[in-house]
Structure 1
Amino acid sequence: MMSNPLVFGLLILITVGLNTLAQTLMKLGVGTHPLNIYLLGGVCSYGLSTIFYVLVLAKLNLSVAYPIVIGLTIVVTTISGAFILREKVLISQWLGVGLLLSGIAAIAFAKNAENFK
Structure 2
Amino acid sequence: MYRAAGWWRPKDTPALLRRIVRGSRRFLVVFEGGRAVGMGRALGDGANDAYIQDVFVDEALRGRGIGAQIVRRLVRRLKADGAGWIGLIAAEGTRPFYEKLGFRRMKGCDPMLLQGSG
Report the structure, 1 or 2, having the larger strand content: 2
Larger Rg: 1 or 2?
1
Q: Which has the higher contact order (CA 8 A, sep 6+)?
A: 1
Considering the TM-score relative to the shorter chain, is it more than 0.5?
A: no
TM bracket, shorter-chain basis: 0.3 to 0.5
TM score, norm. by length of structure 1: 0.35
Report the structure, 1 or 2, having the larger helix content: 1
